[in-house]
Amino acid sequence: MLKLPTIFAAVSFAVLPSLAMAHGPSRLKVTESIEIAAPADKVWARLAKFDDASWIPAVAKTIGTGGSAVGATRVLTLKGDGAPTVEEELTRIDAEARTLTYKITKVDPKVLPVNNYSSTIKVSGDASKSTVEWKAGFYRGYPNNDPPPELNDDASEAAVKGLYTATLAELKKSLEAK
């Protein structure tokens, strides 16, 4: 006769693998960086103005409240059909360390296929050159299992990576031209 602990163990081993496969998506991370032949203070001055996202090529207009203080918000109106928007909030800023962290509070996954997105921008360097590192953590655009291809992990990572790469290249171009 089987004892209760043996039955419990047998049932656990049968059920646990299916529970592990049933969990939702994993948090994704993207990090991009670029070197810019411009003083770090100049680069930071451009990026630290949370209520001015004009340095992001995809942005047509920024409406911000709260300046660059923690809790400040901004609505980015993007270029393109229908003028989609992204709403963001500044969650941390450290001028001495030249870092700022923000989160997306509202975005249509068709515009940027992410959920629970937070991002940090850091500028390092000296009086002649700088490095900008932009990193994010987020979940894919479809929070449940079996996402459609346009909202899966690969699509979400590719969208963020593409945005970061294009934006950093334009930032470099604009700051080195001045």
Q: What is the DSSP letter of 62?
A: E
In CATH terms, the superfamily for domain 24-177 is START domain (3.30.530.20)
| pLDDT, mean of residues 21-43 | 90
Coil, strand or helix at 16: helix
Q: Please give the model's pTM, rounded to 2 decimal places.
A: 0.85
Q: What confidence tens digit (pLDDT) does each residue in 124-151 have? A: 999 999 999 999 999 999 999 999 999 9
Q: What confidence tens digit (pLDDT) does each residue in 20-31 have? A: 455 678 999 999
Task: Give φ, ψ of 18 to 5 degrees.
Answer: -70, -35
pLDDT of residue 18: 47
pLDDT of residue 24: 73
Write the DSSP assignment of 119-176 as a string of letters.
Answer: EEEEEEE-SS-EEEEEEEEEEES--SSS--GGGSHHHHHHHHHHHHHHHHHHHHHHHH
Q: Structural domain boundaries of the chain?
A: 24-177
| pLDDT, mean of residues 5-15 | 53
Q: In what order do the strands lie in the sheet with 59-65?
A: 28-36, 130-140, 114-125, 99-107, 85-94, 73-78, 59-65
